[in-house]
A and B are shown apart, each in its own frame.
Chain A
Amino acid sequence: MGETPLVNENPVIKIQGFCKSYKKQAAVKGVDLSVERGEIYGLIGPDGSGKSSLMKAIAGVLSFEQGELEVFGIKVDSESSAERIKGRLGFMPQGLGLNLYGDLSVEENIDFFAQLRQVTPAQLAERKQKLLKITRLDKFRDRPMKNLSGGMKQKLGLVCTLIHGPELVVLDEPTTGVDPVSRGDFWAILAELLREQGVTALVSTAYMDEAARFHRLSLMYDGRILAAGEPEFICRQAQGSLVELSAEPQIQALDQLKNHYAQVEAIGSRLRVFVDDKSPNEASKAVSDLLVGVEVKAIRASEAELEDAFIALLRRRRLADQKTNNHAVPRLDPPLPEGQGIAIEARQLTRDFGQFRAVDRIDFTVRQGEIFGLLGANGAGKTTAIKMLTGIVPPTAGEGQVAGADMRYAGQTIKERIGYMSQAFSLYLDLTVLENIHLYARIYGVSRSIIKQRIAWVIDIAGLADVTGQLTGSLPMGIRQRLALGCALAHQPGVLFLDEPTSGVDPVGRRRFWDILVRLARVEQVAILVTTHYMSEAEHCDHLALMYAGRIIADDSPTNMIRALQQEAGQLLKIATDRPLEALALLKQADFKGAALFGKHIHLLALDIETVKKQIDALLDKQAIRLIDLTVHAPTLEDVFVYRVLALENQELS
């Protein structure tokens, strides 16, 4: 209380020793947090880390047992005090459009929330006009909410949250399940509103790569805060360096590194190792000295990124599950033939729903042992493409081969030969882990003589040995997803389809999941087709196809995709200034269309770096904005995605 009397503005949110339990399950175990006026504060952590409970309490819709919570300087400790803050804040709960009404149109939804908040007609008209314009929803005023895409639903949700002009917005995972372009839009809108209206935002996310969007953030895990502060500060706390290398043969190098380091993963052709307590140079040397009998092709060391830092912090506190799968149970059947057999082939595959063409003449091939990623916004046609290839939806035109069978005629044969893991978790929660695996083994016709051996193999490869007897409903997300993968593997399919397999899984769980996939592809020669919204995950793939409006607009390896972008649009500039919001507006005016705000930094793609640097210098100088730092980076897959899709969108608009 009052330790900082010199600061004239009190924090918007101030929390001390916050605890919340559901029955006997503790959800939040002692959290301290303070959010200043005008900042975007992030809560990052996996599902079940306590983010939602904390946010609900701040929004005044959840009671709690212990600790002190102050919002706008008002102590929230009763129903009546909660009522006093509710009018001044906006809360958007988790889930795509869950707080909206599906049968009402965009405009009716907004009007409803305005009436609920007693906004005067004049204010409503003005705010609605403005918000619809910046969210680019004004063309869809009359469209029922249920017919909007995921990204549009979230934007509408944001508009409804902002319609009463709150001082504070609390947004619970607004970008989950939203594609990178809509996600970029969402952040841009938030930054814009922040600049214009001085709103404070508390935003939670499960995507580690969104950390850079926040001014400050807290990393949450298991009801506690692991680390808090500016993103760079948290990365430094991990105390170590990241070494990236490519080596042949990869699996051998991976095994050697795993014996020595706790934090190793294979991403596509690269290996990433986190080395504790060493500077980049020392770390790089230590790693190359360790490897014996493998050819190291390229090696590079750098500072840790947030995801690495998160895992390192967990590991230090012994919270992360350090078990790796030992793969002791051999596969009984002979492994699939090594070599370049084609597992999936789509030729001019097309699907119409009435007038609407969901998939438009797509072509691609996936080889045995290859991990193929299908990327695209919600509604780009990924799921329909998968449904055609798995035989659920017949194609309107075109043809395809899956696991050696023609998908037009041999739907049943295909179903017997492939494994499939759907977007939402779709196993039986009231059966145990073992019962689920057993059920799927029998559905897929695993013969009784080998079923025991097969189940043992599944349990081993999916790392489920500790939980076989537990009811599936009691398991955390990460383990459930491994179980779903295990069930899809029960008949040892040669082709595996995974539709957004890791949404909602924490980074540790996600790594372990990809560990299994890499092994399946490299060792067992399984062909894997995966769709994802996580661009960091797309880097695991050997090959990517980017879908837009039913078409494939890019089809290459991740490295080549990034290289192509570098040739076309240049390198990524990260610009730090003392007044980022004004600087952004300035750059946008000066025709740097792609400029986007990431926390206190502005990101920008530029071909001729020297010229652009000079231009920026001059621009900022005029307004007396101080340039703190300007660094050059290679663009990421996220940049590729956003650049390609926006280019097409702009083309269509003009």
Chain B
Amino acid sequence: MNSSRFLLWWDRVIAMTVKELKQLFRDPVLLAIIVYFFTADVYMAGNGIKLNLHSASVMVIDHDHSAASRELIYRFRPPYFDLKGEISGKKEAENLLNKGQILAVLDIPEHFQRDLLRGKQVAVQLQVDTSNTVLGTLATSYATEITAGFGQDLAMQQLGLSAGQVDSLPVIEDRHRVLYNPNQIDSWFMSISELLTVITILSMMLPAAAAVREKERGTIEQLAVSPLTPLQILLPKVIAMSLVILLGTAVCLFLIIIPVFHLPVKGSIGLFFAVTALYVFATSGIGLFIATVSRSLGQVSMLVILLLMPILLLSGAWTPPEAMPQGLRWAMAISPLYYFIEMGYDILLKGAGIAVLKDSLLGLTLLGLVFFSFGVWRFRRQFG
């Protein structure tokens, strides 16, 4: 008897899940959005956003016009810098910087070569537009490195040493080994980060949209008088949307990230999908909560955006946890994306197994249970 009740319970859930999938596949707009997110959006993120300096436009004010100044200028070269030519004065430089047409201006003083040859200390000026902090900082540090390198080479020349004899100088060399992403390819980091963000958006958005649509069309009323429990109404939406999101994730990994960006998957893909499923389930709880407080699809979208912001900011994707004030570091514990990003990179790039992930896994599971129960509880209060 008990087992037949159990089977009936699941039979109802399955019937509802099939219904959700049918409805989704008959909604061309929603389908187009999902396809776009998992393909074009991730592709653009991987291809478009660079954290290395790339083709930063530079102009030069060369007051010296010597071999040394030319040598220095020559070192500002592609792919990092794009030398746009020479200008004559500060006024013009300021003007171009103001208009945002160039990122930096290198100012080489008169007697640059003469002073260098005399062994005097010489300063060059670099004016950088840092209204975009990331670009500005990158340009500054690259430029510093170039000038320092130029200075070192010049010093060695004067000491009569060739470039190969650098070992005989008392210089500390910084040899860093880049782990996990040896070539520091941005597209790996960016595309995975975008994929995880897309999963976050859709796992809030899709179940919430499916639930609120029942409200909008009044179909919820018919379900409320049926023998379905609130959980049987909500669970199918989460199951159906999770399936769609997992399918989308697979498409994104195997058709975009792996073949296009050549991501070497270090860990187990199966584990990654399992973690993703857990994450979608956890985040859909937030979606269900959104559905209970909104009356229309429009309100759902607004609330998703509203909640997405703190989830992203607290996820550690943009700022490492260590750089956050203590209070916010605590708050990160309630951003499900924090755990997901950590586990996602750990599995895909570092090849981590369950043993390494168990703390994050536990955190995400707890968070998921809290969110999901809260969503169902709100829904039950509204329609139960």
B225 x A415 contact (CB < 8 A): yes
The answer to whether B12 has its CB under 8 Å from any CB of chain A is: yes
Interfacial residues of chain A within 355-401, with CB under 8 A of chain B in the complex: 390-392
A443 touches B22 (CB 8 A): no
B75 CB, nearest partner CB in chain A, Å: 63
Q: How many Å lie between the Cα of A126 and that of B228 in the bound state?
A: 56
**Cβ-based interface call for B325 (8 A):** no
Residue in B16, B217, B218, B220 whose beta carbon sits within 8 Å of that of A443 in the complex: B16
Report the minimum CB–CB distance from A469 to chain B (whole Å): 14
Is residue B226 contacting chain A, with contact meaning CB distance below 8 A?
yes
Contact residues in A for B23 (Cβ distance below 8 Å): 428, 430-431
Could you say which residues of chain A place their CB within 8 Å of the CB of B12?
442-443, 445
Q: Tell me if A8 is interfacial: C-beta within 8 Å of chain B.
A: no
Q: Are B19 and A424 in contact (CB under 8 A)?
A: no
Given A428-B19, A428-B219, A444–B226 Cβ distance below 8 Å?
A: yes
Contact with A along B1-41 (1 / 0, CB 8 A): 00000001001100110010011001100000000000000
Whether a CB of chain A sits under 8 angstroms from the CB of B221 is yes
Given A422-B218, A442-B12, A445-B8, does the pair A431, B19 have CB atoms closer than 8 Å? yes
In the complex, A66 Cα to B36 Cα: how many Å?
43
Q: Name the A residues within 8 Å of B161 (CB-CB).
A: none
Q: Is the CB of A425 within 8 A of B218?
A: yes
| B222 on the A face (CB < 8 A) | yes
B260 contacts A by Cβ under 8 Å: no
Q: Contacts A426-B217, A428-B219, A431-B23: A443 and B227 contacting too (C-beta < 8 A)?
A: yes
B222 touches A427 (CB 8 A): yes
Query: CA–CA, A306 to B123, complex, Å?
Result: 102
- For residue A431, which residue of chain B has the nearest CB? B22
Bound form: Cα–Cα A340–B22 in Å: 44
DSSP majority for the B interface?
helix
Question: Which A residue's beta carbon lies closest to that of B224?
Answer: A392
Say whether, besides A426-B219, A430-B27, A439 and B15 are in contact (CB < 8 Å): yes
Partner of B227, one of A392, A416, A422, A427: A416
Q: Which residue of B16, B217, B226 contacts A415 across the interface (Cβ within 8 Å)?
A: B226
Minimal Cβ-Cβ distance residue in A for B11: A442
**Which residue in chain B gives the minimum CB-CB distance to A445?**
B8
B22 neighbours in A (Cβ, 8 Å): 430-431, 435
Contact of B222 among A412, A420, A429 (CB under 8 A): A420
Residues of B55-71 contacting chain A, CB below 8 A: none
In the complex, A429→B27 CA distance in Å? 11
Could you give, for residues 197-218 of chain B, a 1 whenever the CB lies within 8 Å of some chain A CB and a 0 otherwise? 0000000000000000000011
Contact count A vs B, C-beta below 8 Å: 67
A52 to B376, CA, bound (A): 42
Q: In whole angstroms, what is the CA distance A197 to B227 when docked?
A: 57
Residues of chain A contacted by B15 (CB below 8 angstroms): 438-439, 442-443
Bound Cα distance A445, B232 (Å): 13
Chain A residues near B219 (CB-CB < 8 A): 426-428
CB distance from B14 to the nearest CB of A (A): 8
Interface residue? A418 (CB, 8 A) = yes
Query: Chain A residues with Cβ under 8 A from B19's Cβ?
Result: 428, 431, 435, 439
A643 within 8 Å of B (CB atoms): no
Distance (whole angstroms) from the CB of B252 to the closest CB of chain A: 27
B221 touches A443 (CB 8 A): no
**Contact yes or no, A443 B228, CB < 8 A:** yes
Is A440 at the interface (CB under 8 A from chain B)? Answer: yes
A418 touches B218 (CB 8 A): no
Q: Which single member of A423, A429, A440 contacts B226 (CB below 8 Å)?
A: A440
Within the assembled complex, what's the spacing in Å between the Cα atoms of A114 and B10? 58
Q: Which residues on the A side are within 8 Å of B11 (C-beta)? A: 442, 445
B226–A430 CB distance below 8 A: no
**1/0 per position for A434-464, CB-CB distance to B under 8 A?**
0100111011110000000000000000000
Task: Please measure, in the bound complex, the distance between the C-alpha atom of A80 and the C-alpha atom of B27, giving whole angstroms.
Answer: 40
Complex alpha-carbon distance, A430 and B11, angstroms: 22
* Whole-angstrom CA separation of A497 from B228 in the bound complex: 17
> Which residues in B have their C-beta under 8 angstroms from that of A418?
225
Residues of B contacting A435 in the complex (Cβ-Cβ under 8 angstroms): 19, 22
Q: Name which residue of chain A comes closest to B383, CB basis.
A: A392
Nearest CB of chain A from residue B48's CB, rounded to whole Å: 36
Other-chain residue from B16, B27, B217, B227 in contact with A445 (beta carbon distance below 8 A):
B227
Instruction: Give complex CA distance A435, B224 in Å.
Output: 19
B384 to chain A, nearest CB (A): 9
A443 touches B224 (CB 8 A): no
Within 8 A of A (CB), among B126-149: none
Q: Is the CB of A412 within 8 A of B227?
A: yes
Q: Given the complex of chains A and B, what is the CA–CA distance between A425 and B219 in angstroms?
A: 8
Q: Which residues of A contact B27 (CB under 8 A)?
A: 430
In contact, B222 and A422 (Cβ under 8 angstroms): yes
Query: What is the distance, in angstroms, from A72's C-beta to the closest C-beta of chain B?
Result: 40
**Known contacts A426-B219, A445-B11, A390 near B225 by CB under 8 Å:** yes
In the complex the two chains form, is B227's CB within 8 Å of A424's CB?
Answer: no
Q: Which of A416, A430, A435, A440 has the most CB of B within 10 A?
A: A430
Residues of A within 8 A of B227 (CB): 412, 415-416, 443-445
Which of A391, A426, A435 is most buried by chain B, counting CB atoms within 10 A of its CB? A426
Query: Within the assembled complex, what's the spacing in Å between the Cα atoms of A430 and B22?
Result: 8
Interface string of A62-104 (1 = CB under 8 A from B): 0000000000000000000000000000000000000000000
A445 to B219, CA, bound (A): 19
Q: Which of B16, B217, B220 has the most chain A CB atoms inside 10 A of its CB?
A: B217
Interchain CA distance A584-B205 in the complex, whole Å: 61
User: How close is B217's CB to chain A, nearest CB, in angstroms?
Assistant: 7
B96 to chain A, nearest CB (A): 51
Query: Are A424 and B16 in touch, CB under 8 angstroms?
Result: no
Does B226 contact A426, Cβ atoms closer than 8 Å?
no
**A442 nearest CB neighbor, chain B only:** B15
Partner of A426 from the list B8, B16, B26, B222 (CB cut-off 8 Å) is B222
- Smallest CB–CB gap between B324 and chain A, Å? 41
B221 touches A426 (CB 8 A): yes
Contact with A along B352-373 (1 / 0, CB 8 A): 0000000000000000000000
A431: B residues at CB distance < 8 A:
19, 22-23
B226 and A392 within 8 A (CB):
no
Distance A416 CA – B227 CA, assembled complex (angstroms): 5
Contact with B along A207-242 (1 / 0, CB 8 A): 000000000000000000000000000000000000
5 tightest Cβ-Cβ pairs between the two chains A and B:
A442-B15, A420-B225, A426-B222, A424-B218, A422-B221
What are some 7 contacts across the A-B interface (CB < 8 A)?
Answer: A415-B227, A420-B222, A426-B217, A427-B219, A427-B222, A430-B26, A443-B223
Given contacts A391-B225, A415-B225, A445-B227, 18 further A-B contacts (CB under 8 A): A392-B225, A415-B226, A415-B227, A420-B226, A421-B222, A422-B225, A427-B219, A428-B23, A428-B219, A438-B15, A439-B16, A443-B223, A443-B227, A443-B228, A444-B227, A445-B8, A445-B12, A487-B222
List chain A positions with a Cβ less than 8 A from chain B. 390-392, 412, 415-416, 418, 420-431, 435, 438-440, 442-445, 487, 497
